Amino acid sequence: MSTPSDLPLHRLIASLLVVRASGFLADHQRRYPRWELPNGELRMLLEQGLGGVILLGGSAAEVALRCRQLQDWAARPLLLCADVEEGVGQRFEGASWLVPPLALGRLYRHDPGQALDLAQRYGRCCGRDARRLGLNWLLAPVCDVNNNPANPVINVRAFAEEPAAAAALATAFIRGARATGVLTCAKHFPGHGDTSSDSHLELPVLPHSRSRLEAVELPPFAAAIAAGVSSVMTAHLMLPALDPERPATLSGAVLRQLLRSELGFEGLVVTDALVMEAIAGRYGAGEAAVLALEAGADLVLMPADASAALAAIAAAVASGRLSRSELERSADRRNQALAVLAADPVQPDPLAAAQPDTDLIAALLRASLERRGGQLPGGADRATATGLNLIRLDDCLSAPFLPADAPALAMPWRRGFSPCLLDRHGPSPWSGDQQTPLALERLGAGPVLLQLFIRGNPFRGSAGGGEPWAAAVQQLLAADRLAGLAVYGSPYLWEELRQLLPDRLPAAYSPGQMPAAQRTVLESLGLAPAPGQGDSPTDGSAPDAQPVDGGAQRGPAT
C-alpha cells in the first residue's frame, strides 16, 4: 500500500471520503437514490481512491456479493461499514436481528453480570455476522446516555440511561466485537442522549455546562477509548459550553481539544453523515467537508455531493486553508486501521451470510421480556369471533418488522382478533375528546387486543409521544373492551401504561419489534401457534389488515 505522502493529492483526498451505496447489486434496486450513488459514479470514485463505503439494504447473501464487487472495483483495501447497532439483521435480511441496546441497560439494573455477558455476546455476534457479509467496520456501539425519555433519535439505540451502565455495556460490546477482528465506532461524540430534537431534521442544542458533560455525557466515550475502540463518530449538535459557534462535527474545540488532547483518542475520527439536515441545511456540501477536516475529523461520511466535497477540499489545500500534512496524518490513521484488519482479512461468504445466532436472539428476548397479568382467553373460533387486533405503528408502508405473516398479525388472527392498522398516514382514530380519545365507533365492536409499536427512530421527529394512549387504555377498560396489551419498543410508554392495568389483564413488553420479539410477547400472553397452522392472516381465509375506517424498509440511521 502506498504511503499517504506518495499519493497524488486527489487520491489522498478521496481516501478520506466514505460514501453511501445500496447493498443491492443493481442501480434500479436502490431504495434511497438521493443518497446512494449509482454504480457508474461509485466505481469511478473507487478507482480514484475512495476510502470507504457505507451500505444499507439487501439480503445478507446479496450484500456479501456486493462487498466483493466493491473491493474488486477499488483494487485496494476499503473500509466497508454499516449502522448495525441492533445486529446486522437490522439492516440486512437474514442475519441476526437483536433487541435494541437499551434492553441491556434495563437488565443491568438488577442483573449486571448477565447484562455484561449478553452485551459482549451482542458485540461478538455483530462482528461475526459483519465479517460473513464482507463488512469490516461496525458503526457501533452507541455511547450516548439516553437520560431524556423524549429523545426522538437516540432513545432505545443507547445502552443505558445512566453513565456508568452505558460505559460498562458499551465496552463489553467493544470487547466482543474486537475479538472477531472488525473495527468499532463509539458514537455520537460528545453525547446525543439528552436532546429533544433529531439531528437528521434540525440542529439540536445541548445547553449543559462543562462539568455536567464530564459527569454524564463523556464517561462512556472515555471508557470506550480506554477499551481500544477503533473510531469515534461526531454528533451534529451545538454545545455552547464548548463552542458557541460551530456544531461538534465542525468544531476544533470539540474534536482537536476535547477528543484528541484531553481524552487522548488516537484512532479514527469520522463525521456523522453530512447529508443530515443539521449540517446540510446550513453548509454547502463542499464547505461542510472542509470544515470537518479543519476541525480535526479524519473521515468525511456521506457528503451531500462527493464530487463537490473532493473539489472543495482540493481548493482548500491549494489556498493553504487545509494543510496536506494534516490530511496525510488522517490517511495514516485510516491505514493503521486497515493494517489491523490485514492480520485477519474479511472474506465475504454469501452461503454463510444468512445464519442468524438464534441462541443469542432467544436469550436476549427472554431476558428483556416484561410480563404481567393473566393470559388471553382461548378457544375462540376465528370464523365467528369478533375480536379486534388494533396495531399502532409509525408507517404501514415502512415497517420491516411487520410482513404479511408477522406473528403480530397471524397469532391473534387464529384466536379471532381481526387486524386493524393505525399509522400516521391513515385516517385518524382519534375522536378529539381528551377523556375518550379513541373513536370506537370507527373501530367496530368486540374485545380489543392493543399492540403498540412505538420507539424513537431517526427521521420520525418524535419518540412516539404525543398520542393519548394512557387515556385510550382507560377508555377501553371503562368500556370493558381491553382484552390485552402488547408494547414493542419504548420502555417509557410501557412504564406509563402498565400502571393503569388491572392485575389480571394480560400485558407484556419487549424492547424489540421484529417478528421474533412479537412471537415471544404473544406466546407469553397465551397465543402459542396451533400445530400445523400457517402463520399468515392473509392465507385466503382471512381479510387483509385494514386501516381504521377501512382505508419494508430498514431506514437509515447514523
Active site residues: 200, 272
DSSP run (H or E) holding 292 = helix 285-295
> DSSP characters for 40-103?
HHHHHHHHTT--EEEEE-SBHHHHHHHHHHHHHHH-S--EEEE--TT-GGGTSBTS-----THH
Residue 508 CA to residue 524 CA, distance in Å, equals: 7
417 near 387, Cβ under 8 Å?
A: yes
- What one-character DSSP code corresponds to residue 255? I
Burial 356-380 (b: 16+ CB within 10 A, else e): bbeebbebbbebbbbeebeebeeeb
For residue 460, count other CB atoms closer than 10 A to its CB: 20
Residue 548 CA to residue 133 CA, distance in Å, equals: 41
Reduced to 3 states, what is the DSSP secondary structure of residue 508?
Answer: strand
376 near 415, Cβ under 8 Å?
A: yes
Going by C-alpha positions, the residue among 8, 133, 5 that lies closest to residue 71 is 133
Cell 419487549: give the residue: 510
16 near 49, Cβ under 8 Å?
A: no
Residue 320 CB-density burial (10 A; 0-12 exposed, 13-18 middle, 19+ buried)? exposed
Residue 13 CA to residue 20 CA, distance in Å, equals: 17
Alpha carbon distance, N-terminus to C-terminus of the chain: 30
Strand-pairing partners, residue 453, are: 488
